[in-house]
């Protein structure tokens, strides 16, 4: 079993996506036998992140919930070194420019597309998908309401990350990811479909090559408590009305938890 660091890119802020809002994920991983350390970023050079390359962690699951300033140069360099020495890495963010600090994380960072940084190559995709929340701009793919779950389309048939994973939690405005064309071993393994436009968009990019395995994922909402059980609450700035489908239909949460288990196993050195 692995020693896993669950890490956000913001200091502990009660009315934000702090690490306490990923408690159900931590519970699933611990129940599967993994050792889990869950924490928010400390102000200044974060001692855990800057020491990651020489730590005894096997995996980093990074939830980039910042507005662009969530990682220092030293912290980014340490994460790259951790990955190069064989550490497994998950990097996930959300809509528009949220989490754009991950741009400095090498190939896994380049898999993420934002509004003002590294936009999607196809200019036709640089437009608003979700039409309801007008203060959030592209990329903002609408896979469904918070509290709902979406059908996962396979980008690669038979990938072990998707074993028994037909669904993932939905979100009204997911971010954009793609496989860097100059990176052998990078591939899109899962896609979703917008409920608004019908556009197919990428959910998961998996990396296998020198160093550790890695995943770039379109939104941290696939992992947080609110999207697994809306009764757990959310920050006050979330304005969309959730649904309770994932509570009423156990298939959605069961599938998400299986994905967490698959991911922890696949990212193991």
Contact (CB, 8 A) for 66 and 46: no
> Is the per-residue pLDDT at 24 higher than 90?
yes
Given a contact cutoff of 8 angstroms between Cβ atoms, the answer to whether 128 and 153 are in contact is no
What's the confidence (pLDDT) of residue 37?
Answer: 98
pLDDT at 171: 98
- Find out whether 141 and 130 touch, Cβ atoms under 8 Å: yes
What per-residue confidence (pLDDT) applies to 247? 98
- Residue 44 pLDDT: 81
- Dump pLDDT digits (tens) for 131-155: 999 999 999 999 999 999 999 999 9
Distance CA 22, CA 224 (A): 5
Query: Does the structure show a pLDDT above 90 at 213?
Result: yes
The two tokens of residue 133 are 């929340």
Phi and psi, residue 112, nearest 5°: -95, 130
CATH number of domain containing 245: 3.40.50.880
Total domains, the chain: 1
Residue 226 has pLDDT above 80, yes or no: yes
pLDDT band of 20, cuts 50, 70, 90: very high
The Cα–Cα gap between 191 and 248 comes to 24
CA–CA separation, 3 and 59 (whole Å): 7
Give me the mean pLDDT over the 48-61 stretch: 98
Residue-level pLDDT at 119: 98
Q: What is the pLDDT of residue 137?
A: 98
Is the pLDDT at 269 greater than 80? The verdict is: no
pLDDT of residue 43: 87
Is the pLDDT confidence value at 32 over 80? Answer: yes
Mean pLDDT score of the chain, rounded to an integer? Answer: 97
Cβ atoms of 201 and 191 closer than 8 Å: yes
Closest CA to 226 of 78, 65, 110, 103: 65
Start-to-end Cα distance in the chain: 10
Range of the domain at 163: 3-266
What is the pLDDT, as a whole number, of residue 187?
Answer: 97
pLDDT (average), residues 31-49: 96
The C-alpha R_g of the chain, in whole angstroms, comes to 17
Q: Give the confidence band of 98 by pLDDT, cuts at 50, 70, 90.
A: very high
Beta pairing partners, 202:
191
């Amino acid at each position: 079993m692995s020693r896993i660091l669950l890490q956000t890119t913001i200091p502990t802020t009660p009315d934000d996506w702090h690490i306490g809002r990923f408690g159900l994920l931590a519970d699933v991983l611990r129940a599967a036998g993994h050792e889990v350390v869950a924490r928010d970023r400390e102000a200044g050079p974060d001692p855990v992140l800057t020491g990651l390359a020489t730590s005894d962690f096997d995996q980093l699951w990074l939830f980039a919930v910042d507005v662009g300033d969530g990682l220092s140069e030293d912290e980014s360099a340490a994460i790259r070194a951790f990955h190069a020495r064989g550490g497994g890495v998950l990097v996930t963010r959300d809509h528009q420019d949220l989490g754009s600090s991950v741009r400095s994380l090498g190939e896994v960072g380049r898999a993420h597309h934002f509004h003002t940084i590294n936009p999607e190559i196809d200019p036709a995709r640089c437009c608003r998908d979700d039409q309801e929340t007008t203060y959030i701009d592209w990329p903002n793919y609408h896979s469904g309401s918070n509290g709902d779950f979406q059908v996962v389309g396979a980008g690669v048939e038979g990938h072990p990350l998707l074993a028994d994973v037909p669904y993932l939690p939905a979100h009204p405005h997911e971010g954009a990811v793609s496989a860097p064309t100059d990176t052998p071993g990078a591939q899109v393994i899962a896609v979703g479909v917008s409920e608004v436009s019908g556009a197919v968009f990428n959910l998961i990019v998996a990396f296998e090559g020198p160093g550790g395995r890695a995943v770039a994922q379109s939104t941290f909402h696939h992992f947080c408590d609110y999207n697994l059980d809306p009764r757990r609450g959310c920050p006050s700035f979330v304005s969309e009305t959730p649904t309770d489908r994932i509570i009423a239909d156990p298939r959605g949460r069961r599938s998400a938890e299986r994905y967490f288990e698959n991911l922890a196993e696949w990212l193991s050195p």
